[in-house]
Amino acid sequence: MLTFLNKYIFQAGMPAPRLRSRSLRRVFRKVPGGRVSLQYKKQRPKTAKCGSCGASLKGVPRAFPFRMRSMAKTKKRPERPYGGVLCSRCMRQSIIDKTRQ
Ligand SMILES: [Zn+2]
């Protein structure tokens, strides 16, 4: 757990110009020496959204493409029609609409 004092130490120093961008996220990591270090990491990808209503999809991991590539297909999206494309509610509604046509 990061204490207020540790956070204050990081705020005191001016980061290098390339690290002042907010396109990088700041991660506090405990290093092997026991010290807490501020590391700059790439922003994580946004959550997958439903193609119909825009709600964030459950069961779709928020991972970088290189991690998604090594993941099993069953771990990347729910195993149902339109899994990973539509949310469950929109999927149900679209099936109902199609059968009533
Ligand atoms: Zn939806």
pLDDT digits (tens, 9 = 90+) for 52-82: 999 999 999 999 999 999 999 999 999 999 9
Q: What is the pTM of this model?
A: 0.66
Domain range enclosing 37: 4-42
Assess contact for 37 and 29: CB atoms under 8 A: yes
Q: Looking at the structure, tell me whether residues 32 and 55 fall in a common domain.
A: no
Mean pLDDT of 29-38: 88
The C-alpha atoms of residue 60 and residue 80 are separated, in whole angstroms, by 13
Ligand 1 centroid to residue 47 C-alpha, Å: 14
Number of domains present in the structure of the chain:
2
Ligand 1 centroid to residue 40 C-alpha, Å: 34
Q: How many CA atoms lie within 13 A of 49 on its CB side?
A: 7
Tokens representing 2 are 């990061």
Q: Looking at the structure, tell me whether residues 83 and 59 fall in a common domain.
A: yes
84 band by pLDDT with thresholds 50, 70 and 90: very high
- Is a pLDDT exceeding 70 seen at residue 33? yes
Ligand 1 centroid to residue 54 C-alpha, Å: 6
Q: Looking at the structure, tell me whether residues 38 and 51 fall in a common domain.
A: no
Q: Which among 28, 22, 21, 25 is positioned nearest to 40, based on CA atoms?
A: 25
